[in-house]
Amino acid sequence: MSHMTAAEREHWDHEMGAASDMENAFALGRMGLSGENAEAEGRIRKHLDAGLFVVTLHYPAFCPSTDAYTGEHLSVGATASTLDFAEKRRDEIACDCDPEMRLEIRRPKGHELVPEVVAHVPANDNDVPF
What's the pLDDT tens digit per position in 49-106?
A: 999 999 999 888 887 777 778 788 889 999 999 999 999 998 888 877 677 888 889 9
43 has pLDDT over 90: yes
Q: Specify the amino acid at residue 56.
A: T
DSSP 115: P
Domain presence at residue 78 = yes
Report d(CA 111, CA 124) in Å as an integer. Answer: 39
Report, as an integer, the average pLDDT of 7-24: 70
Domain presence at residue 67 = yes
Question: In this predicted structure, what is the pLDDT of residue 63?
Answer: 77
10 has pLDDT over 60: yes
Domain presence at residue 76 = yes
Domain presence at residue 35 = yes
89 CB neighbour count, 10 Å cutoff: 18
Report d(CA 93, CA 70) in Å as an integer. Answer: 24
Q: Which domain holds residue 91?
A: 6-106
Q: Specify the amino acid at residue 109.
A: K
Domain presence at residue 118 = no
Domain presence at residue 91 = yes
What total of structural domains would you count in the chain? Answer: 1
1 has pLDDT over 60: no
Pairing outcome for strands 102-106 and 69-80: unpaired
Domain presence at residue 119 = no
| pLDDT band for position 128 (cuts 50, 70, 90) | low
Per-residue exposure over 29-66, b if at least 16 CB sit within 10 Å of its own CB, e if not: beebbeeebeebeeebeebbeeebbbbbbbeebebeee
